[in-house]
């Protein structure tokens, strides 16, 4: 029967078949039941345990808690499950160990320094200087002065050389006392109060700022600009603080920098900033910024280019002496042409939907038939109100253009009928056949083959007469001629003549039913079904 080999925690490591051995699961040979020659394997296992797997390389089939004697470094190690860790003393290596835990020690064999792991990083314990580099540290020392009194100082030592001392009092070291004589030899014939550098160290200086000095940066003090009298300089002056420059006894003019924005300010109330030039020996004013008004009072320029999103001119009347105003100067090709170019009339910042801003623009999106008879292949002068929302030009609505006489080569319209407003004595719908009469100007035609037929109610006429007479409820638009949708009862073929069918509807007439008075118009396209429906017809023709 096969053996089931478990570890200390009861985890199954391997199942050994009878008469077999396992050398892959652990570093010991696991022996199955009935294996011939098991004694040799068993004794070898005991020797390995006795030696703690003594070898120059670590065991390959290690188990957590297993010991290994490192033959090279003569050290016992234990497998933690992540790494081989010395069972006692620090880890000796040229590089810091990985998978360290808090409290681990590491001896840097390159620099002969000892470190401890804090849980997040290796912290140097000592020595603080690398072997062979010399002593570099602060040390405290007691020495006699020339009166026999002991003095305490701090010595700054770099690479075995005393470069400075710190003392709370000034004194002269004793030349006969060992420490005092050594300090004198290091360049300190006297010790000053505070921090003092050695005179024996070439070019030993404080690097930084000082409250006073005979020479600053190797330049004599006399070479610096005076602050108490007029002075000149041949170099560049750089002010690196935001406080800037002040002019005048009361700091009247300031030049400051904030967030890399440069500001020139006149701080005296109601006073101007004036720019003048010498024009042929005559001083002329080129620019005046009026302090009392907070604006440019006078500006004279030659060519002027304004780059920006908005240019606001706040005047009652704008006079332009040039005969041409050019827009879209930056457009180099038709492909870069914006959709709309022209004028905007602002109806007010808080305009309602019925008081939207108005535009008179060249609409590049408009496309006509492209013929030379009717103009360009695209674009038209257009009047519309804004679409509203964040982009006023996204959904424009056409508005009226009023004039006395319009002179043009040709005109066109989106819709196809001529209509006029008439007062109705009842509610009407698009396509209703109407007659003159009733209690107002028009009423629905209720008779079949009526000789009084007058027109058809239109939805969107191309040209509307008497437009101000009323609205669509009181004064509907009556199409008198052109294409219009008609309530047509029954089927018909293109070209069939129409007559009234009663109930404000029309129908196809036979030849003997038609006369000059009762024909409304004709069907434009075939209608194949009998139900009454709005059908496109042309009216005003016989």
- The model's pLDDT over 445-476, given as tens digits with 9 standing for 90+, comes to 999 999 999 999 999 898 899 988 999 999 99
Average pLDDT, stretch 239-267?
83
Question: What is the 3-state secondary structure of 281-294?
Answer: CEEEEEEEEECCCC
Contacts of 428 (CB under 8 A, 6+ apart): 434, 444, 457, 476, 504
Which residues lie across from 30 on neighbouring strands?
Answer: 22
pLDDT of 36 > 60? The answer is yes
281 prior amide bond cis, ω within 30? no
Query: Whose structure tokens read 């709309």?
Result: 340
- One domain for residues 493 and 454: yes
- One domain for residues 453 and 515: yes
For residue 356, tell me if it sits in a domain.
yes
Which residues lie across from 124 on neighbouring strands?
Answer: 115
Residue 28 DSSP label: S
Q: State the CB neighbour count (10 A cutoff) for residue 196.
A: 19
Q: How far is CA 393 from CA 356, 379, 500, in A?
A: 11, 16, 45
Q: Please, are residues 477 and 464 in contact by the beta-carbon 8 Å criterion?
A: yes
Average pLDDT, stretch 141-150?
93
Residue 372, pLDDT score = 44
pLDDT digit string (tens) for 341-392?
A: 888 888 876 666 667 788 888 888 877 655 444 445 577 888 888 876 667 7
pLDDT digit string (tens) for 500-519?
A: 999 999 999 999 999 989 99
pLDDT digit string (tens) for 52-97?
A: 999 999 999 999 988 999 998 888 899 988 888 888 778 888 898 8
For residue 438, tell me if it sits in a domain.
yes
- One domain for residues 532 and 421: yes
Instruction: State the total domains in the chain.
Output: 5
Residue 6: both structure tokens together: 């478990």
Long-range contact pairs involving 436-445 (C-beta distance under 8 Å, separation at least 24): 442/476, 442/478, 444/503, 444/504, 445/500, 445/502, 445/504
- One domain for residues 421 and 535: yes
pLDDT of 134 > 90? The answer is no
pLDDT of 294 > 90? The answer is no
The torsion angles phi and psi of 38, rounded to 5 degrees, stand at -65, -20
For residue 504, tell me if it sits in a domain.
yes
pLDDT of 401 > 90? The answer is no
Last residue of a domain, one of 299, 323, 343: 299
pLDDT of 329 > 90? The answer is no
Percent of the chain with pLDDT over 90: 35
Residue 431, pLDDT score = 95
- One domain for residues 429 and 529: yes
- One domain for residues 264 and 339: no
Average pLDDT, stretch 313-333?
83
| Better-scored residue on pLDDT, 402 or 535 | 535
The burial of 350, by beta-carbon neighbours within 10 Å (0-12 exposed, 13-18 middle, 19 or more buried), is given as: exposed
- One domain for residues 517 and 451: yes
| Better-scored residue on pLDDT, 93 or 214 | 93
Average pLDDT, stretch 419-426?
95
For residue 232, tell me if it sits in a domain.
no
For residue 143, tell me if it sits in a domain.
yes
For residue 62, tell me if it sits in a domain.
no
For residue 7, tell me if it sits in a domain.
yes
- One domain for residues 532 and 443: yes
* CATH number for position 453: 2.40.300.10
Q: How far is CA 149 from CA 144, 168, 456, 494, in A?
A: 5, 14, 127, 132
- One domain for residues 443 and 510: yes
pLDDT of 323 > 50? The answer is yes
Query: Shortest CA distance to 506 belongs to which of 443, 407, 432?
Result: 432
For residue 61, tell me if it sits in a domain.
no
Sheet (strand 261-266) strand order: 245-247, 253-258, 261-266
Residue 484: both structure tokens together: 């219009």
Tell me which residue range forms the domain holding 353: 335-398
Query: Shortest CA distance to 509 belongs to which of 218, 110, 518?
Result: 518
Residue 370, pLDDT score = 52
pLDDT of 135 > 50? The answer is yes
- One domain for residues 386 and 421: no
**Cα dihedral 420, 424, 430, 436 in deg (nearest 10):** -70
Q: Please, are residues 18 and 4 in contact by the beta-carbon 8 Å criterion?
A: no
Report the distance separating Cα 244 and Cα 193, nearest Å: 38
229 — pLDDT class (breaks 50, 70, 90): confident
Evaluate if pTM is beyond 0.85: no
The torsion angles phi and psi of 13, rounded to 5 degrees, stand at -90, -45
- One domain for residues 425 and 369: no
DSSP 64-99: TT-EEEETTTTEEEEE-SSSEEESSSPEEESSPPSS
- One domain for residues 433 and 480: yes
């Amino acid at each position: 029967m096969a053996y089931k080999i478990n570890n200390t925690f009861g985890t199954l490591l391997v199942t050994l078949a009878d008469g077999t051995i396992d050398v892959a699961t652990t570093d010991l040979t696991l022996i199955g039941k009935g294996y011939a020659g098991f004694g040799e394997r068993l004794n070898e296992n005991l020797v390995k345990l006795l030696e703690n797997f003594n070898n120059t390389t670590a065991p390959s089939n290690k188990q957590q808690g297993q010991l290994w004697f490192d033959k090279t470094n003569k050290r016992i190690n234990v497998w933690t499950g992540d790494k081989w860790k010395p069972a006692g003393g620090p880890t000796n290596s040229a590089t810091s160990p990985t998978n360290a835990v808090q409290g681990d020690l590491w001896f840097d064999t390159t620099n002969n320094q000892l470190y401890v792991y804090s849980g997040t990083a290796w912290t140097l314990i000592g020595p603080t200087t690398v072997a062979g580099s010399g002593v570099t540290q602060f040390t405290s020392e007691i020495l006699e002065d020339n009166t026999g009194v002991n003095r305490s100082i701090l010595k700054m030592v770099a690479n075995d050389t005393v470069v400075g001392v710190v003392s709370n009092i000034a004194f002269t070291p004793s030349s006969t006392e060992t420490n005092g004589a050594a300090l004198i030899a290091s360049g300190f014939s006297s010790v000053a109060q505070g921090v003092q550098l050695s005179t024996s160290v070439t070019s030993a200086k404080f690097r930084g700022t000082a409250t006073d000095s005979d020479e600053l940066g190797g330049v004599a003090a006399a070479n610096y600009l005076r602050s108490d009298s007029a002075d000149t300089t041949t170099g560049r002056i750089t002010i690196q603080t935001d406080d800037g420059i002040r002019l005048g006894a009361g700091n009247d003019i300031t030049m400051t920098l904030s967030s890399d924005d440069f500001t020139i300010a006149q701080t005296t109330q109601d006073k101007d900033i004036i720019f003048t030039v010498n024009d042929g020996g005559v001083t002329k004013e080129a620019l005046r910024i009026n302090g009392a008004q907070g604006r440019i009072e006078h500006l004279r320029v030659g060519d002027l280019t304004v780059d920006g999103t908005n240019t606001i001119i706040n005047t009652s009347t704008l006079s332009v002496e040039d005969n041409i105003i050019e827009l879209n100067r930056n457009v180099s090709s038709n492909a870069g042409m914006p959709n709309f170019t022209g004028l905007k009339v602002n109806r007010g910042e808080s305009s309602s939907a019925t008081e939207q801003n108005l535009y008179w623009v060249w609409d590049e999106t408009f496309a006509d038939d492209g013929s030379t008879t009717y103009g360009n292949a695209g674009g038209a002068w257009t009047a519309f109100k804004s679409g509203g929302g964040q982009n006023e030009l996204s959904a424009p609505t056409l508005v009226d253009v009023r004039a006395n006489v319009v002179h043009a080569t040709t005109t066109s319209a989106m819709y196809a009928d001529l209509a006029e407003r008439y007062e109705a004595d009842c509610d009407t719908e698009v396509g209703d056949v109407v007659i003159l009469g009733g209690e107002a100007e028009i009423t629905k035609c209720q008779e079949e083959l009526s000789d009084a037929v007058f027109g058809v109610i239109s939805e969107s006429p191309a040209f509307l007469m008497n437009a101000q007479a009323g609205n669509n409820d009181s004064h509907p638009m009556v199409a008198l001629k052109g294409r219009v949708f008609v309530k047509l009862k029954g089927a018909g073929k293109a070209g069939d003549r129409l007559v009234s069918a009663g109930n404000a509807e029309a129908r196809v007439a036979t030849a003997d039913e038609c006369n000059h008075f009762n024909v409304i118009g004709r069907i434009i396209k075939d209608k194949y079904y009998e139900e009454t429906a709005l059908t496109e017809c042309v009216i005003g023709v016989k």
